[in-house]
Amino acid sequence: MDIKVNKAKNNTYKVEVTIPSQKVDEAFSDALKHEAESADIKGFRKGKAPTEVVKQNVDAQKLRSHALNHFLVDVYSIVIKEHKLQPIVQPKFDVKAFEEGKDAEVEIIIIERPEIKVGDYKSALKKKGNQKGPKVKDDGTIEPNAGSSGVTNQDIIDAILETSEVGVAEELIEDETNRMMSS
């Protein structure tokens, strides 16, 4: 299995996987065996028809879908374990090629937790504090609040928000928008 992991911006990973035809054939064979267990074909007891007869009578698209579902789960778990990724949402799969007797090509989009960079909030807090009164020390620590002119909790939160950067993946925003629209 050939796996190429490309890190994009905002902790998004584009993973390109090429799977040899032997593994693809195994996935189709496993799917066919599973379908044969519950196949109800005239002239055979339920689940007792030979796999070749089942293959002729089962919808090819259903067989492909069954093979692909199990196949993608296995590929995804291998990618996550080998590259120590920690996704926070369901991956997006783009199957480029998946046919019996041929190599399979799959693209997976994986998103990890957004990266948060906290800036120099102490300077921003000091500036805010000095505008309201001398309640912030040079080292950025806050003097005990001696009155209403001191720095408030909201001032601290505002200073952190103003100086911090959060890289949120576009896919996360899109997923959340879709979730909100559907509810």
**153-167 residue pLDDT tens:** 888 888 888 899 888
- Position 166 scores a pLDDT of 86
CA distance readout (Å), 73 to 49, 77, 78, 79, 92: 28, 6, 9, 10, 12
- Position 12 scores a pLDDT of 92
User: Of 105, 103, 85, nearest to 95 (Cα)?
Assistant: 105
- Position 149 scores a pLDDT of 52
- Using the predicted structure, report yes or no on whether residue 33 has a pLDDT greater than 60: yes
Confidence band, pLDDT 50/70/90 cuts, at residue 134? very low
**In contact, 64 and 27? CB cutoff 8 Å:** no
- Using the predicted structure, report yes or no on whether residue 45 has a pLDDT greater than 60: yes
- Position 130 scores a pLDDT of 63
Query: Rg (Cα) of the chain, in Å, rounded?
Result: 28
- Position 44 scores a pLDDT of 79
Confidence band, pLDDT 50/70/90 cuts, at residue 140? low
CA-CA-CA-CA dihedral for 69, 71, 77, 81, to nearest 10: -170
- Position 150 scores a pLDDT of 65
For the chain, percent of residues with pLDDT exceeding 90: 28
The crossing angle, in degrees rounded to 10, of helices 60-83 and 21-38 is 130
> Residue 43 is encoded by which pair of tokens?
């002239």
d(CA 20, CA 17): 10
